[in-house]
Structure 1
Amino acid sequence: MTDNLRRLSAEGVAIWLDDLSRARLDSGNLAELVRDKEIVGVTTNPAIFQKAISGKDDYNAQLRDLAVREVTVEEAVRMITVQDVRRACDVLKPVYVASNHVDGRVSIEVDPRLAHKTEPTVAEARQLWWLVDRRNLFIKIPATKAGLPAISQAISEGISVNVTLIFSLERYKAVMDAYLTGLERAKEAGLNLAEIESVASFFVSRVDTEIDGRLDKLGTDEAKALRGKAGLANARLAFEAYEEVVASDRWKALAAAGANPQRPLWASTGVKDPAYKDTLYVDELVVAGTVNTMPEATLEAVADHGDIHGDAVRGTYDAARADLAALEQLGVSYDEVVQLLEDEGVEKFETSWNELLDSVQKELQRLRP
């Protein structure tokens, strides 16, 4: 059942797990996935931590100690999440070494309540980088307008960044520019560019969910024919934009100085619509030099019945543009959709974070002597 995963890796796609919990660490499950299922990285987000921690006994011992110390709930949540991420970094360290520091990465996100604040985002990125204290860490910074200068600043200080919540092609181009700006500053400061890594997380399934809903309301044959096409078209055109950047003189100068490319990462690859094949956003986004981060259910589906048939991205750009143009002709506004998805993405992560704070606060109160 792992042949498909091996084939995917052989095509140049790094397979990352979009999940983390203390139970997964304590049981050795993460190590097993690294050993047996081609997993070479881990991503987390506030929703993942909220699900992992809330109502689970795995964290009781640490929660009890934190309660005794009478720490704030914010500190408690950070100590808990940092411990899980640090342990995951240690599990992935052999991959980090074997891949020449490209993979073996684990991501932790800045407080989502800071998404529209540049300086606090940079300050938290520095703190998390220091707290986890592992070179194979990624700090996740959202691709909001306020996040862009924070990305450049973090990169300029040698902090490796996973840029998250990217939905639009225009914003993705701004993210790549922010990365290059950060590298140029790092070079001027005398940092070793080879030690700085970054990925740009381009969200896929949420685009289809929102646009398909609008197409269903139209109900025409033309609308029905476009269902399930927007997410792939958007991602494929993002890769075209990436190719344009890595072909530029600006990038070539940085690469000559030892810089690493900011790999596109396909996020939100779990299929939301049961009418679609559950491996759709893996099978159809195969292209070398990318990352696909999957929830475990998608990982198992790919292992069981994925259809890995080589490069599924290059050569599709004209068709992708035609699909997005057809949506506009039907009155489905691309700009409106991607802005809505960014706003909702920030709001959802903030909601998950607040729910996590609430549940941890209750546990601290219960365990405090």
Structure 2
Amino acid sequence: MSTNPLADLSAAGVSIWLDDLSRDRLTTGNLAELVADKHVVGVTTNPTIFAGALSKGTAYDEQVRELAARGADVDAVVREVTTTDVRNACDLFRDVHTRTEGVDGRVSIEVDPRLAHDTDATVAEALDLAKTVDRPNLLVKIPATVEGLPAITRVLAEGVSVNVTLIFSVERYRDVIEAFVAGLEQAKANGHDLRGLHSVASFFVSRVDTEIDKRLDALDTAEAKELRGKAAIANAVLAYAAYQEAFAGPRWDALVAAGARAQRPLWASTGVKDPAYSDTRYVDQLVVADTVNTVPEKTLHAVADHGTISGDTVTGRAGEAQAIFDRLAGIGIDLDDVFAVLETEGVDKFEKSWAELLDTVTGQLNQAKG
């Protein structure tokens, strides 16, 4: 048994990205230590992460006071402090980005979640974020809503790398892949170098079990109990099969010839929410090459301490995974409704966090102005 599960995970082709960023992580050297000691090769952020970061401690006070003195409003302050953190994190990961030829060393920042159902506004915000951060290893996060799909294509077409977030169903994931491929084709036509254009597709994991387990518990049958905790990993297995299927054939080969790289699946929401389950299950049961696992620090340390990495746990399991979904449908679990609820809740949660972030910064601004 290996004494370094994180090294084993990395060797298996899984890129470990931290699902957190704050000014304190940057200034104390904590993030640099995770890169050096815990095989962390990227960072993701979201409105909830920034809301938490700005509500704790005094790390942002000086910058907020400076912005207040210049007359900045709350939206300008939020933009400035979040893009500053992301820019500095991009600089920290620059060596990783160079060493991996742009595959890793990536830092993600999300468009304002209030724009999730507005294609044009999402595109404008994404391009503005890319211009403001101005780093080659940035990924701009765009939600995989119906309105987000054309935004993904248009942003990629402008030469901006994208992290597609809030993906729950394999059906929507196939739409995301199509949006990505179309974006690369347009980027190529626009004269952009595809070698520098990257994307990941953030497929949310634990929330699927949370929602489906709740419905299984309501059924309270023997089969429902036996199916608890099986949906999320099965869903991810089917997503990986869709990834393998999509990135093949003449259309994709033409883009590869121009320097394109496939849009890697990213396992998001991998912190375990049900204490009945192993706290490493969404990492050590989703080991497969050419993927990313973005983990909260608590999960990172759990994997380092007692994770079991035993090679590829995903490839070739699509039939088994589909059988689980067939059984779920057979006992009355409305999977379409599950995924619709999860997407709606996902957007709503980020909108709520964004509102909390604005409230926190408003209070800080008022304090700075006396």
TM-score, normalization: structure 2?
0.99
In the alignment, which residue of structure 2 is the partner of 1:186? 187
The one-letter code of the counterpart of 1:151 is: I
The one-letter code of the counterpart of 1:107 is: S
Kindly state the Cα deviation for residue 308 of structure 1 after the two structures are TM-superposed: 0.4
In the alignment, which residue of structure 1 is the partner of 2:357? 356
Matching of residue 99 in structure 1 with residue 93 in structure 2: no
Kindly state the Cα deviation for residue 155 of structure 1 after the two structures are TM-superposed: 0.4
In the alignment, which residue of structure 1 is the partner of 2:298? 297
The one-letter code of the counterpart of 2:185 is: E
In the alignment, which residue of structure 1 is the partner of 2:138? 137
In the alignment, which residue of structure 2 is the partner of 1:325? 326
- 1:188-226, CA deviations, whole angstroms, 9 ceiling, x for partnerless residues? 112111110000000000000000011011111100000
Kindly state the Cα deviation for residue 248 of structure 1 after the two structures are TM-superposed: 2.5
Structure 1 runs not aligned, ≥5 long = none
In the alignment, which residue of structure 2 is the partner of 1:256? 257
Runs of 4+ in 1 over 3 A off after TM superposition: none
Q: Secondary structure at the match of 1:201?
A: strand
Root-mean-square deviation (CA), in Å? 0.9
Query: Matches of residues 269-308 of structure 1 in structure 2 within 5 Å?
Result: 269-308=270-309
- 1:87-112, CA deviations, whole angstroms, 9 ceiling, x for partnerless residues? 10011111000001110000000000
Query: Matches of residues 41-80 of structure 1 in structure 2 within 5 Å?
Result: 41-80=42-81
In the alignment, which residue of structure 2 is the partner of 1:146? 147
- 1:42-80, CA deviations, whole angstroms, 9 ceiling, x for partnerless residues? 000000000010142111000111111121101100101
The one-letter code of the counterpart of 1:105 is: R
- 1:136-192, CA deviations, whole angstroms, 9 ceiling, x for partnerless residues? 000000000010000000101100000000001111000000000000011111211
Kindly state the Cα deviation for residue 233 of structure 1 after the two structures are TM-superposed: 0.5
Kindly state the Cα deviation for residue 282 of structure 1 after the two structures are TM-superposed: 0.5
In the alignment, which residue of structure 2 is the partner of 1:337? 338
Q: When the two structures are aligned, how many residues end up with a matched partner?
A: 369
Question: d(CA) in 2 for partners of 1:2 and 1:74?
Answer: 47
Kindly state the Cα deviation for residue 2 of structure 1 after the two structures are TM-superposed: 6.7
The one-letter code of the counterpart of 1:279 is: T
Question: d(CA) in 2 for partners of 1:174 and 1:24?
Answer: 36
In the alignment, which residue of structure 1 is the partner of 2:167? 166
Question: d(CA) in 2 for partners of 1:18 and 1:317?
Answer: 27
Q: Secondary structure at the match of 2:60?
A: helix
Kindly state the Cα deviation for residue 366 of structure 1 after the two structures are TM-superposed: 1.1
Is the CA contact 1:2–1:37 (under 8 Å) kept in the aligned structure 2?
no
The percent of aligned pairs where both chains have the same amino acid is 61
In the alignment, which residue of structure 2 is the partner of 1:201? 202
The 10-residue stretch of structure 1 (274-283 or 66-75) with the greater mean CA deviation from structure 2: 66-75
- 1:346-366, CA deviations, whole angstroms, 9 ceiling, x for partnerless residues? 000000000110110011011
Question: d(CA) in 1 for partners of 2:206 and 2:261?
Answer: 28
Distance 1:2 1:345, change over 3 A: farther
Q: Secondary structure at the match of 2:59?
A: helix
